[in-house]
Each structure stands twice: as C-alpha cells, then as structure tokens.
Chain A
Amino acid sequence: MRKIAILAAIAIMVALLAPALAVAGPKEIKIGVIYPLTGSVAAAGRELRNGAELAAEIANNVMPKIDMTMAKNAGIKSLGGAKIVLIFKDHQGNPQLGADLAKKLIKDDKVVGILGCYHSSVTKTVSAVCERYGVPMINGSSTSPTLTKRGFKWFWRTTPHDKWFTKDLFEFLVGLSKGKVKGVKAVPMAELKTLASACEKTEWGSNVSLEIANFAKEYGFDLKANILYAAKSPDLSSEVQSMIATKPGAMLFASYTSDALLMIKTLKSMKAKPKVIWGQDAGFDKPEFRALGGEIEGILTRSVFLPSVVKMKPLAGEVNSMYAKKHGHDMDGASARSFTGLQTWVYVLEKAGSTEPKAIQQAANTISIPGKQLVVPWVGIKFSTKGDEIGQNVLGNGLIGQYQMKDGKIGLQVVFPFDMATAPMIFPFKGF
C-alpha cells in the first residue's frame, strides 16, 4: 500500500515537472491573435488571419528571396531559433468576448503577448486586460485615436490612426488647389471649399466625424453638412439629399461595407456630382465594393497598402506575390497591417532576447525598424514613449488611392503622398 502511494507521488511529481523540463529551452513562442473571424466582418477577419500567418511563416523559415532580416533566420535567433506559434481566437466584434478570450490566452495558454484586434472597441477591452496582467500587446489595425491616448505601458500600435488619415485628406485637398497632384492643374480653392460628410454612428465613425470637423476648421474649409447616420440603415436617401443640397466640392464618408454599397447606389440614383468623393477605408476598400466595377471609377479611399505600391517597393512585391499565390488575390490594407503587426512582434522579440514581459517592454520602447524592411510604405516603426501619445508608431503614414479602370479592370492607384503617385488622377469626378 505504501509503495503504491510513493510510486503515485513520484508519478505525480514527474507529471508536474515534465512540461517544465520540456520548455527549458524555449523552442516555441506563443502569440495570441484575437481577430473577428466570424460575424459581420468575417471577410476582413480572413485577410487579417492570412496576413499574420504569412508573417509567421516568413519568420519561422529561411527565405533568401525576401530581403527582410526575419526571413534570413529560422525562428528567433536571439532565442535559440525559437519558432513563432500563433493561437487564433475569434471575438465576433464583441468587446466582452474579446476580453474573456484575452484572459484565456494569457492565463490558460500562457502566451508571451497578444496581437489584435481590428475593432477599436474590442482593442480597448483587450488592452485593458493586458495592462492589468502586465502582458505586452501590439496592435496593427485599430485606428481609433483614443487608443494611444491612455498612457498604457503595455500597448503599442504600429498603424497610423484616423487623425493622421483625416489630416492626409486635408493635405491632399490643399495640394489639389496648389497643383501638386499628378496630372491635375491647380484647382481654384472655391471649387473645393465646401465639404459634406456622412459617417456611421458607432465608435469608429463618430471619431472620424469629429476629426473631419476639427481639421475642416483648422484648414479653413467650410463643412456644410456633418452627418452621423445609423449603421445598416435601410434607407440613406435623406442623408444623401441633405449632402447634395449643400452643393459640396467634396463628399466624405466613413462607412462599413453594406452601408458603403447602399450609399453609392443612392448617390448614383440621386445623380450626385461632387468634384471629389473620399471614403475612410473600411467599406470603400473591400472586394464587394470593387465588384461595383466602372461605377466607382474616380472615387478616393485612404488605405495603408495598395497593390500598386509594389512598383515602388520590390519587397512588397515579393511578399504580395507569395500572398497572392496562396490566396488567389492581392494583399489589402487589413492583411498588410496584420502582417506588419506580427513582423513587429518578431523584431521586438529578437531585440529583447527573452520572453520576460519587462525585457519585451524595454525592447518595444527602444525599437527602430527601418522602412525598407516593411511591406507598407512607411518611414519605419518607432514607438513614442512620452508626450500625449504613448506607444504610437510615429513613423507611419497613410495613402490615398483612386479607383481607376485599367485594361477593363477596376483597381486602386496611389494619388497621395504626391511623390508616390502611381498614375495621373482623374479630376473632377465624372459623375455616375
């Protein structure tokens, strides 16, 4: 009887110690990735997932063709070649569920850190969990300006946010009046001065609406209509009528996919004809939107990655062709930013040389990734550590693309920044 007890005790000891021995030399680094894989934005979730997976594949294998430091080593070199393992979780756009999943990843799966979450509202609750547990989180795709205004010590964001993107728009409009845009002569300011905006009424859209109002004042534009509308509305004709009534030079939108489609259809049927139509990414940069074909020629959208960028960046071309070979279509803003988010994780871990949160924090705060390592057209990645924005990448910038027909296919061409333009801009918008 006693023998059995002793044996049992030994067996239990071994069972408890075995996993500890197994992880003595870290062969695996687990990163928890929380994205909306199902639900209403599942399409974006798929792109996000593909982007992160591709980055992990490049980090874990030697790929001499790709000119990136992380492609030269198999795994994290400073951690003895440890491989990146991604654990995906689906938050369905639900902030509460996101927070629960973050706890699961941190406590049950013992992840080193978190990547996510696309929806700014979910990123808020998830980063609050990370902050409480002291677990680092890198965000690559949420654009609400408030996220980096909270002074969090464990949160870093690689993507520029809506304030920058909106500022880009106004820089672009001013540039248009000064003749800086490729293929367009200086447009009299009077033609552009009047603006009308319609943004959807959730956390994202109402932030954009606020930024538009602020910048319009700052740049001396006349914002005649500043509309918030209920998302997934069955009817947008009253909004469009109000916008048309102000005879705007530019119409500005922040809409998710189904609203963006209905908006274009309503604009078309009401025969709206502003000089410029601009969308704040999201619905204006989705395959379903592109499927409208010739109807959307001339419409502008902001983005962080356009397939035409590859003309400027051979590296982006390499990665994009790998991506296209796997999934049958080009990378878009979502997959490119997710790729960059995970890439940043790899570089931070490489620099930290440890999986201790403190070391990672130290590395993230001092890291500097040059722009030529990235697929997105940024100057680089360097996080601010003081001032009113903590953890924000200060070297990022956005793009403005225009839909143009080329060989019978609709595609985006870069029109801003002016020195990166890939095609002459179509101006004014020719109408539907």
Chain B
Amino acid sequence: MEAIKNAFNFSDLPKTELALASAVLVFLLGFPAMPHSSFGMATMIQFLAFSLYGMGWNLIGGYGGQVDLGKAQYVGIGAYTTAVMMIRWNVPFWFSLPLGMAFAVGWSFIIGYPLFRLKGHYFAIATIATSLVLKDLFEVWNFVGGARGLELPIKGDFPNWLYLQFREDYYYYYILLGMFLIGLIYVNGFRHSRLGYQLRAIKDNESVARSLGIDVHWSKIKAYATATAFVAAVGSFHACYNYNIEPEDVMSLDLSVLIAMMAMLGGAGSIWGPIIGAAILVPMKNYLGSWLGGQAGFAGMDLALYGLIIMVIAAAQPRGVYGIVEAVRARRR
C-alpha cells in the first residue's frame, strides 16, 4: 500500500517541473490526433522506446552509479522470447511479454552475481563482454534462427490485439505510451523505496553504506534485475513492432551504448533525465540523418555533429542536460 502511495507521490518535485511534465503528458496523449508525418510518428515511437530503455538503465546506472554497457542483451532476450513463442507455439504477445521479462530477470541474476564483484571500469567492460557473448551464442543457435534472425508471421485481420499486429502506427504508439506511463510511475515509486535510498547511499560511498548495514552486493543485483525487466519488455514490443529481429539488430553493442548515452545525456540519476535524453537524441539522430545524410558528399556530417554535441554537453555539465537545468535553477535562487 505504502509502495503504491509512493509511486503516485510526485509532490517532492518542483512545481514548474510538474507543470511542464503535465503539459508534455497532454501533448503525448494527443499527439496522434495532431497533424503529423508518419516519420514523425515513427520517431515518437522510438522516443518512447528509448525513454523506457533509459529509465531501466537509470535504475542501476543513474541511481546506483554502476555504468552498464550491456543492456542490449536483455532487449534481445525479450525480443527473442516473444518471437520464438509466437512463431513456434502461436503464443500471444501478452503472455510472452511477462515470460520474456522473467527470462531476462533470471539471466540477470545468473550473471549479476559475479558481475557485481567488479567495480567501475572493470564492471562496465564486463557488461559489454557478457552482452557480446550472448549475442555470439544467438548468432549460431539454430533454434532461434542463428544470425539469419527470425521473422514474425503476419497474422492478418488488423487490428490484431492478441498478437500486437496493426496496420496503423498509432495503436503501437498508445500501447507503448501505456508502458511508458507505468514505467514512469514505477520509477517514481522506486525513488522513494527502500532499495532506492540504499542504492543512492551506495553510489555516494560504498563503505559507509556497508557500515550502515546495507547488503551492497544484493542491493545492486536487485536493482540490476529490475532495470532488466524494463528493457526486456520494450524488447518484446520491438519484435512485434518491427516484425523481424536479428542478433545484429537487437543485441548489438551500438544499441547498448545508445541506451546508456541517452540516459547519460539527459542526466543520470534523475527521474526526467532519460526522457530528456531520448527527446533530444532520437529526433536529432533521425532528422539530422534525413537532412544531411541523404545529400551526396555529406555522409557522416550528421553523426559528426551529433558526436560534437555530445562532447560539448559532457564537457560542460557532467550531470547532463538535467544538470544544466538544475544549475540554472540554483543560480536563480
């Protein structure tokens, strides 16, 4: 009961932030009714997906301070669970979604236990290693199609709610928006939860946290597993949305890095950070790409600019865009 009350308790956030967040929420709810291009819609769906990835990453990376660069392996577990179950046994999305999350959490416990013996850079690189090992295994595992990937059959009779197959993107949009809101509320509850406080104590100073009687190792593993569930859920959704998955697509290092990067850019360790990061980077990547990338002779210009902006933000404010907002607010006061 307490947990639920906490989850809906946003009162400790500044009023301006809440007002802005409500405005954004209204915009998100009404977006499909506004005039938009279908590329805009696809960009919004990606924005929601990366916000969710980022929220997951933020639980362990932001609140816990453990830089995780292997989130793509859980995207893959979620996506593959849904795809394999639909193709082989005709299992609807709504059943494979929780199963995918459960598999991901299970796997996170298996590797989380040894992983969290490592710290700092060693930890970051070990997460990359585990993710690459899993990807390599999936690339030769014939049961899941190997490197050839899996293609979901088109069931027909749209809209098909059971298997999440729609002709128009706004169905996908609202489903993902629902997941987004659940995620946001969960993260808000997490902030106020016992685990949330423990993690922040660990991030500040591990030995102090330990002396306070916090089981550091176990707390990290729990937060890591929770983060994993978020990522796997979006992975399941991605399989249905994209109709085709390959290890190279859903488990690549690029995806892991992108997930971490969005959350870091927005501001790791704050509730709005991953959302801000996704809201900046996703449209920038898509639209810079279609403006500059398509022109002959400018290949690479868009991403070079993208890299430059990331460098500038990282150098200017280590806590990301949200850090800049906070700094400005502190100065006003």
Interface membership of chain A positions 222-255, coded 1 if the CB is closer than 8 angstroms to chain B and 0 otherwise: 0000001010000000000000000000000000
| Interface assignment of B211: CB less than 8 Å from any CB of chain A | no
Contact A103 B243 (CB under 8 A): no
Contact A108 B151 (CB under 8 A): no
| Interface assignment of A42: CB less than 8 Å from any CB of chain B | yes
Closest-by-CB residue of A relative to B301 is: A38
Q: Known contacts A88-B294, A99-B242, A207-B148; is A121 also within 8 Å of B249 by CB?
A: yes
Q: How far is B1's CA from A137's CA once the two chains are assembled, in angstroms? A: 54
User: Which of B42, B158, B296 is the one whose CB lies under 8 Å from A132?
Assistant: B158
Contact A38 B299 (CB under 8 A): yes
Interface membership of chain A positions 165-206, coded 1 if the CB is closer than 8 angstroms to chain B and 0 otherwise: 000000000000000000000000000000000000111011
A108-167 CB contacts (< 8 Å) to partner B = 108, 121, 124-125, 128, 131-133, 144, 146, 150
| Interface assignment of A317: CB less than 8 Å from any CB of chain B | no
Contact B167 A132 (CB under 8 A): yes
Looking at the complex, which of B86-94, B139-147, B214-222, B325-333 is the stretch in contact with chain A? B139-147
Q: How far is B218's CA from A294's CA once the two chains are assembled, in angstroms? A: 63
| Interface assignment of A107: CB less than 8 Å from any CB of chain B | yes
Contact A131 B38 (CB under 8 A): no
Contact A132 B154 (CB under 8 A): yes
User: Which of B169, B249, B296, B299 is the one whose CB lies under 8 Å from A95?
Assistant: B249
Interface SS of chain A: helix
User: Which of B46, B243, B296, B300 is the one whose CB lies under 8 Å from A125?
Assistant: B243
Interface membership of chain B positions 18-40, coded 1 if the CB is closer than 8 angstroms to chain A and 0 otherwise: 00000000000000000001110
Residues in A whose Cβ lies below 8 Å from that of B37? 104, 107-108
A34 to chain B minimum Cβ distance, whole angstroms, is 11
Contact A202 B248 (CB under 8 A): yes
Closest-by-CB residue of B relative to A199 is: B147
| Interface assignment of A92: CB less than 8 Å from any CB of chain B | yes
| Interface assignment of A37: CB less than 8 Å from any CB of chain B | yes
Q: Known contacts A103-B38, A201-B147; is A124 also within 8 Å of B244 by CB?
A: yes
Residues in A whose Cβ lies below 8 Å from that of B165? 132
| Interface assignment of B183: CB less than 8 Å from any CB of chain A | no
B145 to chain A minimum Cβ distance, whole angstroms, is 9
| Interface assignment of A388: CB less than 8 Å from any CB of chain B | no
User: Which of A46, A89, A96, A206 is the one whose CB lies under 8 Å from B146?
Assistant: A206
Residues in A whose Cβ lies below 8 Å from that of B139? 201, 206, 228
Residues in B whose Cβ lies below 8 Å from that of A95? 242, 244, 246, 249
Q: How far is B300's CA from A364's CA once the two chains are assembled, in angstroms? A: 38
B131-181 CB contacts (< 8 Å) to partner A = 136, 139-140, 146-149, 151, 153-154, 158, 165, 167, 169
Residues in B whose Cβ lies below 8 Å from that of A121? 149, 244, 246, 248-249
User: Which of A89, A131, A203 is the one whose CB lies under 8 Å from B154?
Assistant: A131
Q: How far is B296's CA from A128's CA once the two chains are assembled, in angstroms? A: 29
Q: Known contacts A104-B37, A206-B147; is A42 also within 8 Å of B244 by CB?
A: no
Closest-by-CB residue of B relative to A200 is: B147
Give the interface size class of chain A. 35 or more
Closest-by-CB residue of B relative to A95 is: B249
| Interface assignment of A101: CB less than 8 Å from any CB of chain B | yes
Contact A90 B289 (CB under 8 A): yes
Q: How far is B142's CA from A228's CA once the two chains are assembled, in angstroms? A: 13
B100 to chain A minimum Cβ distance, whole angstroms, is 19
| Interface assignment of A356: CB less than 8 Å from any CB of chain B | no
B35-51 CB contacts (< 8 Å) to partner A = 37-39, 41-43, 46
Interface SS of chain B: helix
Contact A101 B39 (CB under 8 A): yes
Contact A103 B249 (CB under 8 A): no
Residues in B whose Cβ lies below 8 Å from that of A103? 38-39, 41-42, 169
| Interface assignment of B293: CB less than 8 Å from any CB of chain A | yes
Closest-by-CB residue of B relative to A93 is: B248
Contact B140 A228 (CB under 8 A): yes
Q: How far is B147's CA from A201's CA once the two chains are assembled, in angstroms? A: 6
Q: How far is B246's CA from A207's CA once the two chains are assembled, in angstroms? A: 13
Residues in B whose Cβ lies below 8 Å from that of A106? 38
| Interface assignment of A100: CB less than 8 Å from any CB of chain B | yes
Q: How far is B169's CA from A103's CA once the two chains are assembled, in angstroms? A: 9
Residues in B whose Cβ lies below 8 Å from that of A101? 39
Q: How far is B248's CA from A219's CA once the two chains are assembled, in angstroms? A: 33
Q: How far is B39's CA from A131's CA once the two chains are assembled, in angstroms? A: 18
B275-325 CB contacts (< 8 Å) to partner A = 286, 289-290, 293-294, 296, 299-300
Most chain B Cβ neighbours within 10 Å, of A92, A106, A128: A128
User: Which of B140, B244, B293 is the one whose CB lies under 8 Å from A92?
Assistant: B293
A30 to chain B minimum Cβ distance, whole angstroms, is 15
Q: Known contacts A146-B148, A205-B147, A206-B146; is A125 also within 8 Å of B244 by CB?
A: yes
Closest-by-CB residue of B relative to A205 is: B147
Contact A104 B147 (CB under 8 A): no
Residues in B whose Cβ lies below 8 Å from that of A108? 37-39
Q: Known contacts A88-B294, A203-B248, A228-B140; is A42 also within 8 Å of B299 by CB?
A: yes
Residues in B whose Cβ lies below 8 Å from that of A92? 289, 293
The 7 closest A-B pairs by CB, nearest first: A100-B42, A38-B299, A107-B38, A104-B39, A128-B243, A206-B147, A103-B38
Other 12 A-B pairs with CB < 8 A, given A103-B41, A124-B151: A37-B294, A90-B289, A97-B289, A100-B39, A100-B46, A108-B38, A124-B149, A146-B151, A201-B140, A203-B149, A203-B246, A206-B148
Interface, chain A (partner B; CB < 8 A): 37-39, 42, 46, 88-90, 92, 95-97, 99-101, 103-104, 106-108, 121, 124-125, 128, 131-133, 144, 146, 150, 201-203, 205-207, 228, 230
Interface, chain B (partner A; CB < 8 A): 37-39, 41-43, 46, 136, 139-140, 146-149, 151, 153-154, 158, 165, 167, 169, 242-244, 246, 248-249, 286, 289-290, 293-294, 296, 299-300
A-B contact pairs, 7 of them (CB 8 A): A96-B46, A97-B286, A100-B43, A100-B286, A125-B244, A128-B154, A144-B148
